[in-house]
């Protein structure tokens, strides 16, 4: 077994075949335990992705052991199951967030985070920029395990003189978007303290990818923290602005 850490995603990948029964248990020096969940939706079908409860990833002092008496009982498709969590302690989510449009700065800040030590920041430095000029960051995951489910993106956001900011989520099919919400009727405007915002979409039976992130249009500054994608019940209303078969 080998492991590697991706600084942008705070993800540890175990290059090993899934055990025939039970689970691979990971123990750290601080006494925490995690169960490595097998995913067949990734490019390399024999990878195991470490899932650890909590908002910290410690990369030293791990030992890997197979325990046939431990069974992974987490239902990844049940209401309340977390698909993705971004706390920005290790940076912006992935390579797609590294490009910066002129007039914008994207970074990680330790100034008054909502939780932990850091939050993501998007800053528009051109006061004359129009609302059709925007930048942000995004991440994504396979939609296959969650087809037929309703999912919610939640994030805690604060702003300073923001012309227009939002969190957003999109469900993509093989060649076109299926569902989308960028908070267009309810944007984050002006100066606000930390507030929780959410976007809710249905994952269609033909969905291929779930993409989510945050953006700032025009000028101002927006801080984003504690971004979570989770499965919710059908009693939670959808906020979709665009739905296509």
Q: Tell me the CATH number at 219.
A: 2.60.120.260
Q: What's the confidence (pLDDT) of residue 82? A: 83
Minimal CA–CA distance to 56: which of 112, 141, 116?
116
Please state whether the predicted TM-score (pTM) of the whole model is above 0.85.
no
Which tens digit of pLDDT belongs to each residue from 74-119?
A: 456 777 788 888 888 878 876 454 456 778 989 999 889 998 888 9
54 and 92 co-located in one domain:
no
Buried b (16+ CB within 10 A) or exposed e, 204-221: beebebbbbbbbbbbbbb
CA 2 to chain centre: 25
Residue 237 has pLDDT above 50, yes or no: yes
- Banded model confidence at residue 29, pLDDT cuts 50, 70, 90: very low
Q: What's the confidence (pLDDT) of residue 101? A: 72
99 and 157 co-located in one domain:
yes
**Per-residue pLDDT averaged across 124-150, rounded?**
87
**Per-residue pLDDT averaged across 44-62, rounded?**
39
Q: What's the confidence (pLDDT) of residue 165? A: 96
- State how far the Cα of 109 lies from the Cα of 117, in Å rounded to an integer: 8
Query: Domain count of the chain?
Result: 2
127 and 198 co-located in one domain:
yes
Question: Domain of 47?
Answer: 3-67
The pair of structure tokens assigned to 12 is 């540890």
189 and 98 co-located in one domain:
yes
Residue 43 has pLDDT above 90, yes or no: no
Which tens digit of pLDDT belongs to each residue from 209-233?
A: 999 999 999 999 999 999 999 999 9
Q: Would you say residue 74 lies in a domain?
A: no
Better pLDDT: 106 or 30: 106
Which tens digit of pLDDT belongs to each residue from 154-205?
A: 999 999 999 999 999 999 999 899 999 999 999 999 999 999 999 999 999 9
Q: What's the confidence (pLDDT) of residue 230? A: 92
Q: What's the confidence (pLDDT) of residue 128? A: 79
Minimal CA–CA distance to 141: which of 94, 192, 75?
94
């Amino acid at each position: 077994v080998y492991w590697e850490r991706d600084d942008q995603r705070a993800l540890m990948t175990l290059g090993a075949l899934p055990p025939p029964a039970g689970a691979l248990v990971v123990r750290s020096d601080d006494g925490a335990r995690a169960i490595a969940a097998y995913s067949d939706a990734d490019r390399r079908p024999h990878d195991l992705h470490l899932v650890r409860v909590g908002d910290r990833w410690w990369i030293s002092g791990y030992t890997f052991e197979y325990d046939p008496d431990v069974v992974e009982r987490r239902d990844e498709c049940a209401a309340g199951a977390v698909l993705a969590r971004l706390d920005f302690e290790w940076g912006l989510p992935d390579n797609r967030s590294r490009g910066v449009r002129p007039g914008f700065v994207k970074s990680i800040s330790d100034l008054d985070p909502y939780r932990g030590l850091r939050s993501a920041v998007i800053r528009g430095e051109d006061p004359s920029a129009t609302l059709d000029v925007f930048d942000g960051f995004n991440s994504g995951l396979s939609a296959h395990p969650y087809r037929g489910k309703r999912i919610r993106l939640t994030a805690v956001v604060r702003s300073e003189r923001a012309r227009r900011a939002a969190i957003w989520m999109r469900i993509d099919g093989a060649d076109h978007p299926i569902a989308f919400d960028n908070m267009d009727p309810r944007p984050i405007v002006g100066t606000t303290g930390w507030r929780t915002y959410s976007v809710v979409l249905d994952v269609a039976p033909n969905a291929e990818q779930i993409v989510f992130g945050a953006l700032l249009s025009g000028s101002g500054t927006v801080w984003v923290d504690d971004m979570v994608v989770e499965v919710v019940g059908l009693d939670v209303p959808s906020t979709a602005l665009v739905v296509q078969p």
